[in-house]
Structure 1
């Protein structure tokens, strides 16, 4: 009888834990939905001097900027020779920030490991910046153009730069890997830790805020951002 009572108590306790966990998950998604639909207003009308883009693959949001203009030359930070193609004719560069384990060890969802997922959710893992060169940037449902002023672009440059980890000489740290997504991308060591409350999309959303553009109050998902720019 005592064993049955203990088993029943254990099952009840486990049930409470499961219900509490499901409630927290539901609350997380509910808060994410509500706050991502609350927008931060853009700055008052400014000059439309430089075009930037937001780009998504259906999971991540990248911030896309010109490789070079009269405000900044990104080749001081990201090198063409760090890519497999080593091509030098790109006009745009997309920046994404995220969990290093996800970037380098999870090419598809089928490759996701419990250890990588746990570190990413809890902020215990390192982070990386994924930089991808593009010749053209066609606009579509997954890519939206935003025209900003030179001054606003300067702020965005500083925002992106601030997430790079630098060596003692002040240079970016290229991650040598075979886990590239294509022939025109490279990975770099980055500052900060990815977690449930600060994701790759949260970072991109913060970048839009940094340069005075319309953004979500908070969002961990890409669709929060792209809903605002439909």
Structure 2
């Protein structure tokens, strides 16, 4: 059984590497001008950092700063990601992730949830890779993200700190439909080049050049 479990993990990792190497929107070229977004990663989880207000979208209407404890800051960007409810709410660090939770997600899946953080002028870094997309692509990205927004009244939960918050959201989290797959799906729907199946963070960031320092 142990060997079988190890083999299954290795096969899943191999499938993830292969799937993330197959491009969607393979002919896409980053434009010289447009809207700068960022692909955020901690090595395990990815998120989209977006300007708070543009002609295409004012995210304050969806995610007001009043929803976070530190509401009085001059926020300029938000970070949006989708993930699994139990993992988001009850695993403040990856060391808190229990094997039972992992097995449950693999076996039956879990409920979706959004994580939104508010930032003031985030700088490009190893953890936040900038990417310029056209305004039309940004409009499509906004429309794709709006499909993941809570339906009806928003139910929110406290975040990890004073500048972030969680919201109940539609969608089922599974081993094949992960937080990183959500990120690449949003980019793909915008028309941006990204991997076909990206269960791991590296499968998303491999398509985004590292930030210039």
Structure-1-length-normalised TM-score: 0.83
Determine the structure 1 residue equivalent to 2:203: 224
- Pick aligned residue for 2:155 from 162, 169, 174: 174
Shift of 1:220: 0.4
- Is 1:28 matched up with 2:12? yes
Query: In structure 1, how many angstroms separate the alpha carbons of the residues matched to 2:135 and 2:81?
Result: 22
Q: Secondary structure at the match of 2:117?
A: strand
Whether contact under 8 Å (2:41, 2:127) holds in the other structure is yes
Whether contact under 8 Å (1:64, 1:93) holds in the other structure is yes
Query: In structure 2, how many angstroms separate the alpha carbons of the residues matched to 1:187 and 1:46?
Result: 33
Matches within 5 A, 1:84-163: 84-163=69-148
Query: In structure 1, how many angstroms separate the alpha carbons of the residues matched to 2:93 and 2:139?
Result: 35
Give aligned pairs, total. Answer: 208
Query: In structure 2, how many angstroms separate the alpha carbons of the residues matched to 1:229 and 1:124?
Result: 29
Whether contact under 8 Å (1:42, 1:215) holds in the other structure is no
Shift of 1:107: 0.7
Q: Secondary structure at the match of 2:171?
A: coil
Determine the structure 1 residue equivalent to 2:177: 198
Shift of 1:46: 5.2
Q: Secondary structure at the match of 2:160?
A: coil
Shift of 1:157: 0.6
Q: Which has the higher helix share?
A: 1
Query: In structure 2, how many angstroms separate the alpha carbons of the residues matched to 1:32 and 1:137?
Result: 30
Shift of 1:82: 0.7
Q: Deviations over 1:126-146 (max 9, x none)?
A: 111000011012112221111
Whether contact under 8 Å (2:151, 2:170) holds in the other structure is no
Structure 2 gaps of 5+ residues are none
Quote the RMSD (CA, aligned, Å).
1.8
Q: Secondary structure at the match of 2:136?
A: helix
